[in-house]
Amino acid sequence: MNWTMNEKQQEFLEVLKKQGKSFNTVKNYKADLQCFNHFLIDKNQNLKIKSFTSTQVQEYSQYLEQKYGSPNSVRRRVQALRLFFDFLLAQNLFPENPLKKMAVSPKVLDIPLPTPHHEVIKTYKHLKSKFSHSQTPLQELVFARNVVIFHLIYGAGLKVSDLSKLGFESILKDRNSFRVLVEHPKRDPYSVPLPLCFNKDFLFYKNKLKDYLDQHDLKIDEILFNANPYKLLSGGLSPRGTELFFEELRRELKTDMTAKSLRQSCIFKWLSSEVSHTTIKEWLGVTPSYSLELYLEELKKDPSGLAFKEMEVQDD
C-alpha cells in the first residue's frame, strides 16, 4: 500500500487528538513533524520514503543543531519524530524505529521569568475595572470569567490544559474558602487551595453564568466557556481561547504577561510564603523528583522583588 509522510502524520495527529492531547500539544507535534518534512525536501528526498538509515538520522541531528540554537528545541523535535516512527512501527510500515538509538541532549530548564508583582496587581485591578464598561450581559459575563481565569492561574497555579475542561464540581468548599480539584487520566487527582479573594469573584461569576444560561435555555457543565461578542458558543475554554485572553491583556496593558509567566509568579508566591517544597510539587501536579532549584536560585538573587503575595486588592 502506497502512503506518504503527510498522510501518516495526519493520522498520527488525529490519534493524539483522540487521546485527549491539548490543542497546543497537537499543534506543536505538527510543527515538529513539518520540520522533518522540510529536512527531507532540502535533501531532495521524496515524502514517500520507506526507509530511514542511521546516516540520515545523523544528518537530521546535524540539521536540527544548525537550525535551532536551543537544546530543548532539538530535543523536542527528535522526541516528536521518535513517537511518530513508533506509530509507523506499530502499523508494520517500518521494521524498526530509526531514531531509537539517536542520542538526545538532556532537557535544559529555562530560567523562570515571572510576571512582576506590580503587573500582577495592575492586571487584577484592570480586569475588575472592566465591569463598569460592560455594555451587554454577555460582555459582563466574559469579564467575570476572565477574573476567574486569573485567579485559577495566579491563585492556584493551574496550567492552561487544566483549565480547558474544569467543571463546577471541581470547585470544592473548604471551610471559609475553596479548593480546586485537578484530575488527569494517567494521574491521581489532587486539589489546590484558592485564596480568599477568589470567593467573592467566583460566586459573582457563578450567579451571573446561571442567570445567563437560564435566560437563554442553555446548559453547560464546565466552569469556563467559549463565546463570541454575540453569544455563548460552548462550555469549556480551549487552550487557544485562553491564549487569546492573554493576547488581549498584552495589547491593553502593554505587558509581556503570558499564562506561563503568571503561573511562575504563583510558584514564587508559594515559595516566598514558605510553603513546603513537597506541597508545592503536589499543587503543581509534578513528580517528587521535580526540581525547584531554578526558582530558589532566582529568589536568592532578588528576594524582595520576587516576594509575591496573595491578592489583597479592595474593590474600587
3-state secondary structure of 286: coil
C-alpha 46/C-alpha 38 separation (Å) is 11
Identify the CATH number of the domain in which residue 289 sits. 1.10.443.10
Q: pTM for this one?
A: 0.72
The C-alpha cell that represents 133 in the structure block:
464598561
pLDDT tens per residue, range 289-313: 888 999 999 999 999 989 899 887 4
Task: Kindly state whether residues 126 and 80 are assigned to the same domain.
Answer: no
Task: Kindly state whether residues 264 and 161 are assigned to the same domain.
Answer: yes
Task: Kindly state whether residues 84 and 122 are assigned to the same domain.
Answer: no
The C-alpha cell that represents 303 in the structure block:
528576594
Identify the CATH number of the domain in which residue 64 sits. 1.10.150
> 164: closest CA among 244, 247, 205, 224?
224
The DSSP call for residue 16 is: H
Rounded mean pLDDT of the chain? 88
Task: Kindly state whether residues 50 and 126 are assigned to the same domain.
Answer: no
Residue 273 has pLDDT above 80, yes or no: yes
The residue range of the domain holding 56 is 5-90
- Tell me, what amino acid is at 32? D
Number of domains in the chain: 2
Residue 275 within a domain:
yes
Residue 96 within a domain:
no
Lowest mean pLDDT among 35-39, 179-183, 209-213, 265-269: 35-39
Residue 66 within a domain:
yes
Task: Kindly state whether residues 62 and 191 are assigned to the same domain.
Answer: no
pLDDT tens per residue, range 40-84: 888 777 666 667 777 788 888 888 888 876 777 888 888 888 898
pLDDT tens per residue, range 167-199: 999 999 988 899 999 998 777 899 999 999 999
C-alpha dihedral (27, 29, 30, 32), degrees to nearest 10: 120
Residue 29 within a domain:
yes
Environment class of residue 229 by beta-carbon count within 10 Å: exposed (0-12), middle (13-18) or buried (19+)?
Answer: exposed
